[in-house]
Structure 1
C-alpha cells in the first residue's frame, strides 16, 4: 500500500516524527505535493485547514487528516476526509494504516469518521518512538502542559501532564546535528511536572550534549517567565550558545493574566527581564493584543510593558486568534486603541518588535 504525506511547511516537524513512527511499522510516508496513491496524509492547523478542505474532499485516494485542527474539530474534518486522527499520531496512524490495508472492520481508537469518533485508548510514551529518522526535524524533548492557557491548543492535543524524552535518547538524536534545538512547550520545565522546575535535570541534559552547540529557550521553543531564575540562567550562559531567551508575557495586566489562566504575574515577567539582563541575555518576549477580555486600561498596561521590554530587548506582538478546542474559541479580537497601533508601528520601524497585530494569520505558515 502506497502511503503519501502532503507537504505543508507548517507540518515539517510532524512529518519527521510520524515518518519515523510509521517506518517502525513498515510504512514509508512518501512526501507529495498533491494527493495521490492509495492513501495521502495531512497535518493541519486551524489557520491553514480551510485552504486544503476542497483538495481533501476531491482527492482521488483515501485521505487521513491529523494535527491541531483535526483534534479540535474532528467531525468537521470528517465531512471532508475519510479518516481523522484525533490527538497524538505516533501509535494511532500506523494502527489506522494497518486497518485500512487489512480492510479490518470496526472503529479505530483515536480516529473519527463520518460515523463518529472512537475515543483514544492510550497516551504516547515518548521513549518508544524516535524523534526522526530519514527526514530530520527538531528534537522534541517534552510534550504536554499543565497550565491550560485559555487561548492555547496544546493541552487539547497533548494533555496536561508533561512527558519527557530521556537524556540519553536526546543525546543520540542530537549526534546527527552540530546545533541542538528542541521542541517543547517550556524548555525550562524539562524533567519536571511543568509547575516546579528541576534545574538538576536541565544540567544533566546539557552535560550529555557537550558535543553540540546548544540552543535552549529560543527558537523553536520558549520558556515561561516564572521558570526564569538566576540558577537556570547560569546553566544557559555556561553550556549554551544562545544569547537570547524567549518567553511569553502575553499581557501587562494581572487581571487579564488571571482570566487567561496563565499561572504567572506581571511581576514574574519583570523579574525575568531583570535576570536576563543581569546574565547578559537579551530577552525576547511574546505578547497577545486585542484579547477579548481586555479593557482599555489593560491594553495600555500591555503597551507599557512592551515599551519596557524593548528598552533592552525585543518583543513579538500578535493579534489574538480564536482557536477551536480552546476556552476562547469563537471569541472576536478586540479593536486596538489608536495609540497602541501608533506605538507598535513606531517600534516596528525601529526594529524593536516583530509580529502582526493587524493580520493574525501571518503568525502561521500557510504556504503549501
Structure 2
C-alpha cells in the first residue's frame, strides 16, 4: 500500500511528526505535489482549505484529511474526503492506515460521511518522536490552559499542558546546531501554564548543546510570563536577541472579552523588561476584533506605536476561525486613521504582518493533523 503526504508548506512540521509516528508502525509517507494512489494525506487550515478542496474531490485515490480546519469542520470535510482525522494524529493516523489496509471500519477519532466517533485517547508526547527522517522543529509542549476567543489551540489539543521530557528533547535537539521549539508558551514548559516552573525551564536550557532560540517563533511566550528571572535565563543560556509575545489589544476591556488572561500593564511591563535587558520585543496584535470600539482600536494603535519605538510589532486582522467562540463573529472595519498609521509604520520597516490579507498571516504558521 503506497501512502503519500500532500506537500503543503504550512504543514511541514505536521509532516515531520506524523511521518515519524507512522514510521513506528511500519508505514512510510512519501511527499507528493498532487494526489496519488493508493492513499494521499492532506493537512489543511481555514485559509488553504479552499485551495485544495477541488483537488481532494477529484482525487483518484483514497483521501485522508486532517489539520485545524478539518478538525473543526469535520462534517463538511467528510462530504468530499474519504476520511477525516479529527484532532491529534499520532495515534489515530497509523490506526486508520491499518484499518484501511485490513478492510476494517475506521477507528475512533476519524470522521466519514457515515458518521463520527470521538477519540478516547490523548497523545503522550514522549510516546512519539517529534520527527525522524523528515526533520522538523521539536515540539516540547502541547495544549493551553487559556481560552482566548479567537484561538484554535485549546480546542484542538485541550487545556491541559503536556510536555515532552528533557531527555527526549535533548535527544532530538542534538540533531540541530540552531535549536528551535514548537510550544504555545515557551516559559510554561514543565508547568500547568499558569503557575510557571522556571526551574524546569532552566534545567531544559542548560541540558542543551548548540545555539538555542527560546521564546521566538515558533515558540513564543505570554507577556505576563516575562519577568526578571525569565529574561535573565534567556540571556544566560540562549542565542536569541529578541522575545516574541502576544499583546493582541491595547484595551483591557477587549482583553477581558477575549479571555486573554493578562492586562495591558502586563504587556507594557514585558516590553520594558526586554528593553532594559537589551532584548528586542516583538509583539503580536489583532485589529478589527468584533467587540472593538473606536476608542479600543485607538488604544491598540497607541500601544503599537509605543512598541515600534523600541521593538517590532506584528499585525493581524481578525479572522473568525471554526471551532472557536468567535467563529461566527464578523471583523470590525479599521478606522481610516488606523490604516494610515499602519501604512506609515510598514513603510518605515517598523511593523510586519498583514491587516488586509489573511493569507499572509496563515501561510507563515504551521498546523497539526
Shorter-chain-normalised TM-score: which range?
over 0.9
The alpha carbon displacement at 1:212 in A equals 1.0
**Contact 2:249–2:300 under 8 Å retained in 1:** yes
Figure out how many residues of one structure are paired with residues of the other and give that number. 365
Q: State the distance in 1 between where 2:263 and 2:329 align.
A: 24
**Is 1:54 paired with 2:54?**
yes
**Contact 2:47–2:358 under 8 Å retained in 1:** no
The one-character-per-residue Cα deviations of 1:196-254 (angstroms, maximum 9, x if unpaired) are 11110110001110x21000000212100000010010000000000000000000000
SS at structure 1 position matched to 2:309: helix
**Contact 1:48–1:366 under 8 Å retained in 2:** no
Q: Residue in 2 aligned with 1:287?
A: 285
SS at structure 2 position matched to 1:248: strand
**Contact 2:254–2:291 under 8 Å retained in 1:** yes
Give the TM-score taking structure 2 as reference length: 0.98
**Is 1:127 paired with 2:126?**
yes
The alpha carbon displacement at 1:366 in A equals 8.7
Q: Residue in 2 aligned with 1:93?
A: 93
Kindly report which structure 2 residues correspond to 1:1-368, keeping only aligned pairs within 5 A, or say none.
Answer: 1-104=1-104, 106-209=105-208, 211-365=209-363
Q: Which has the higher contact order (CA 8 A, sep 6+)?
A: 2
**Contact 2:39–2:62 under 8 Å retained in 1:** yes
Runs of 4+ in structure 1 off by over 6 angstroms are none
Q: State the distance in 2 between where 1:292 and 1:222 align.
A: 25
**Contact 1:71–1:156 under 8 Å retained in 2:** no
Q: State the distance in 2 between where 1:5 and 1:359 align.
A: 27
Q: State the distance in 1 between where 2:52 and 2:358 align.
A: 19
**Contact 1:2–1:39 under 8 Å retained in 2:** yes
Q: 1:128 to 1:154 in 2, by over 3 A?
A: same
The alpha carbon displacement at 1:107 in A equals 4.2
**Contact 2:280–2:311 under 8 Å retained in 1:** yes
Q: State the distance in 2 between where 1:36 and 1:107 align.
A: 21
Q: State the distance in 2 between where 1:219 and 1:119 align.
A: 32
**Contact 2:285–2:316 under 8 Å retained in 1:** yes
The alpha carbon displacement at 1:330 in A equals 2.2
What residue ranges of structure 1 are gaps of 5+ in the alignment?
A: none
Give the TM-score taking structure 1 as reference length: 0.98
Q: State the distance in 2 between where 1:351 and 1:197 align.
A: 34
What residue ranges of structure 2 are gaps of 5+ in the alignment?
A: none
Aligned-pair Cα RMSD in Å: 1.0
SS at structure 2 position matched to 1:355: strand
